[in-house]
Structure 1
């Protein structure tokens, strides 16, 4: 009987590493370094370097240079009322910017490859100290960045019943055959 060896995709490896970091080893056992699980994957599957969250002045300048496409009103209404299905969800709560960027990129890449059109990205509303959350500000900038343009057609804030300002509807581009 031959033994089957499963290889993790880059997206699955990122997700596994995020989960593995939260696990505690049993008493008397040492932790395994989860960064080196399996063979290295080539640079073509690595997520591109993330975009830093912009200062308000730089963000205003960027808006004039590249306007991100918002979802049209009929589509936004259909999504909020549940008449258009949300085919995937990713929750970025509690992640660092680097972890969130990697997870978001791999999730959107897999969803796009799977032919999914509409997904919900949950960023959370931010810290309890009164300021906007880091991911709440950064994710829309990431979605408008050149690295995500082949995947993302448009995005907009979600309706209240889907998380309101702490979530985003994302329309993915159609996968080319």
Structure 2
């Protein structure tokens, strides 16, 4: 196969003369063998940043901590948002620590698999005995190791799990209200469990 070479100036003039007399077979697809002058590439338009720029800072200045952002509400807020199913006057007395629990169970230090059956047994027995207000102590939970993972781990797993257990069968049918205990009964590390009347 012959190698293509560039035309000399006199050959170029001859070629242009012949090309002007030729009829193209496909007029829309006429191509010249001459290289076209490519237009200079346009610089891309600047796009606005996806995130706001960092606030101005000076080297060596102290870190300005922004307020923390916790997507999960506290257990106190979560329980306070639940509808009130018991007498409002008794609920107010219970929340102020004026009602004394008739029985208590301490789940502090147990694992989830140990605590769940103990809680079921305790609450069902208290209901069968006609008790109305019991105290469930979970402890606040302690963090043994620093949490450096991408997904934050909850502190006090038992403290967050007990209110869910109290809403699920078999306990949901006998529990009327759950509230965080008053400080004199354990505060954030304990729950008041107000039971329905036994029939």
TM normalised by structure 2 equals 0.50
Q: Quick check: which has more Rg, 1 or 2?
A: 2
**SS where residue 169 of structure 1 aligns?**
strand
Query: 2:187 aligned to 153, 164, 174, which one?
Result: 164
Note if contact 2:97-2:184 (Cα within 8 Å) is conserved in structure 1: no
- Is 1:77 the counterpart of 2:85? The answer is no
What's the counterpart of residue 166 of structure 2?
A: 143
**How far, CA to CA, are the matches of 1:82 and 1:163 in structure 2?**
10
**How far, CA to CA, are the matches of 2:121 and 2:194 in structure 1?**
16
Structure having the larger proportion of residues in helix: 1
Unaligned residue ranges in structure 1 (runs of 5+):
1-55, 58-62
CA offsets per residue over residues 69-107 of structure 1, 9 Å max, x none? 456653243225554231010000111111101110000
C-alpha displacement of 1:128: 3.3
What's the counterpart of residue 118 of structure 1?
A: 133
Structure 1 residues 74-83 or 117-126, which shifts more?
74-83
Q: Which residues of 2 match residues 98-137 of structure 1 at below 5 A?
A: 98-129=113-144, 131-137=154-160
What's the counterpart of residue 87 of structure 1?
A: 102
Aligned residues: 113
TM normalised by structure 1 equals 0.56
Give RMSD over aligned pairs. 2.6
- Is 1:154 the counterpart of 2:177? The answer is yes
CA offsets per residue over residues 14-69 of structure 1, 9 Å max, x none? xxxxxxxxxxxxxxxxxxxxxxxxxxxxxxxxxxxxxxxxxx89xxxxx9xxx854
C-alpha displacement of 1:155: 0.5
Note if contact 1:68-1:144 (Cα within 8 Å) is conserved in structure 2: no
